[in-house]
Amino acid sequence: MKSSSLRIILLLVVGSLSASAQADSLVSKATYFNSVYSGALLAKKGDGTSLSVSTIHGIRKNRLASGVGVGYDAYPDWRTLPVFASVGYDLSKPGKNDLFIQIMAGYAKAWVPETENSEYIYESKGGRIIHPLIGYRIRSGQFSLYFTAGYQWQRILYEEKIRGWDNPTSKVSIQREIQRISLQIGFGLH
């Protein structure tokens, strides 16, 4: 899983770096961008609201943007550190304000914050993350302000063991899916 995700990320990054070297004014060159997002991950009643922070660095050419990113998600029972590739497309012609779609996909390391009162010990393996979204970008000079809404799906694989037991059969392997609606605000350079 990790090697195939790494190959996809590298392919997206290398593919986005192939900017045209022509001096023709009709052909736009690729430009660097970065963005930082922060917001809430909203769940069904009882599952709790979560905090999400991420940053993306990449290349934009015409309406297409691709990059790589890293984030931090604080769920009520879990913490995750996603590393992902991002591909976006502007739905309107480049201008001062742009409506865009974007998808981020990758792998997230996951862990449970340690509590001494817990009767369980968790050994996490992490899992996949997919986050499609729609957003609105407002440009002012070299700065951009982003508003996004999307849906984040994350799979966490982990083993649960009762604290103090050394019996290997006391481990239980669990797969958990976390699904949230995301609402974020961000800023960046383009």
Q: What is the mean pLDDT of residues 104-116?
A: 84
Give residue 5's pLDDT: 52
Give residue 14's pLDDT: 46
What is the C-alpha to C-alpha distance for residues 61 and 64, in angstroms, rounded to an integer?
5
Give residue 58's pLDDT: 97
What is the C-alpha to C-alpha distance for residues 146 and 122, in angstroms, rounded to an integer?
36
Summary mean pLDDT of the chain:
82
Three-class SS of residue 8? helix
What is the share, in percent, of the chain residues with pLDDT greater than 70? 77
Give residue 159's pLDDT: 77
Torsion angle in degrees (nearest 10) through CA of 63, 4, 132, 17: -20
Give residue 46's pLDDT: 63
Q: What is this structure's pTM?
A: 0.76
82 vs 20, 22, 73, CA distance in Å? 32, 37, 8
What is the C-alpha to C-alpha distance for residues 190 and 186, in angstroms, rounded to an integer?
13
Q: Rounded to the nearest 5 degrees, what angle is found at the Cα of 112, between the Cα atoms of 111 and 118?
A: 150
Bridge partners (DSSP) listed for residue 49: none
Span between the terminal Cα atoms of the chain, in Å: 32
Residue 20: band (very low, low, confident or very high) from pLDDT cuts 50, 70, 90: very low
What is the C-alpha to C-alpha distance for residues 141 and 56, in angstroms, rounded to an integer?
19
Non-local (6+) Cβ contacts of 114 within 8 A are none
Question: 22-68 pLDDT, tens per residue?
Answer: 334 455 689 999 999 999 999 977 678 899 999 999 999 989 999 99
Question: 135-181 pLDDT, tens per residue?
Answer: 999 999 899 999 999 999 998 887 777 766 566 556 777 788 889 99
Give residue 18's pLDDT: 41
What is the share, in percent, of the chain residues with pLDDT greater than 90? 51
Specify whether the CB–CB gap between 87 and 66 falls below 8 A: yes
Helix or strand (DSSP H, E) at 9: helix 2-16
Specify whether the CB–CB gap between 80 and 70 falls below 8 A: no
Count of CA atoms in the C-beta half-sphere (13 A) of 93: 1
Q: What is the mean pLDDT of residues 64-79?
A: 93
11 compared with 134, residue with greater pLDDT: 134
Residue at 179: amino acid letter: Q
